[in-house]
Structure 1
Amino acid sequence: MDLDRIKERLAERQARRGWLDEEEAEMLQLIALTESRQKKTIGYLQDLAHQNAINKGWYEEPRTFGEMIALMHSELSEALEEHRNDRGFREIYYEGEKPCGIPIELADTVIRICDTCGHLGIDLEAAIREKMTYNATRPQRHGGKKL
């Protein structure tokens, strides 16, 4: 979900209720702060995902690295289940207000990765750039494996 859509939903909630709760107000402040960046980078998404997880209470109890990896894996498994249920690769559908489908589950995977990297202090964008630079130097179908 892009920032404009999040802001739109928060505005709808505020119009409907006449107020925003503390977490919604914090999210609106975070959006305003991060919109001041000129480029919407991976680092920006990492900061946004991690702050949202903090705001939603996901760090009130400590998590192990294994738990964080398992949660990432679970999102990929949910994407596979969508495929097994004959959902299209670009299909997004809704259960109430909740978006579902392969693109959403893949997005959830990226969000979990961004959150974890934010929590652990990993500069994901720098790591991706470094790995992509290295990958560009590798031979065609390096490793000789079928998959």
Structure 2
Amino acid sequence: MRVEIVGCDTVYGNSANLEPYRGRLNGAAGSAWKPIYDFIGQWLQVDLVEMKRVMGTIIQGRLDNDPEWVTSYKLQYSTDRISWTTYAGSDGSETVFQGNFESSIPVTNLLNNSVDARYLRFVVQSWHNHIAMRAEIVGCDTSRFYFG
């Protein structure tokens, strides 16, 4: 699946390998998305290029001399990049997903109810040392249906 990745506060000093497009799962050691400032609400946005059925996410931290990772995040989705919905549980409350416990082992979070979207945002809620993330989306084409 082809994706485009952008993030807020996209330039981190003169450091290379920290731009949003480096936020792909299992990228090179030291590579990840890392915003300039650490605060709740920073986001990494993924453009799936076309509508997809999103069934989950996988995230990973930045493996470096000073390991950094996201410990929790919310997931927002959109069809048009203008109107965003925060993924919520069956009780209607916004879901906060568990992130990483260390920088290299991927953490998978499957959605209880899949969503159809073109755009996704990983909205950071907490982190270790500094915000840094590599991510992947679990999903399929919206036109595919599986019958058992």
Give the TM-score taking structure 1 as reference length: 0.24
Higher strand proportion, which one? 2
> RCO greater where, 1 or 2, for CA within 8 Å and sep 6 or more?
2
The structure with the larger Rg is 1
Higher helix proportion, which one? 1
Give the TM-score taking structure 2 as reference length: 0.24
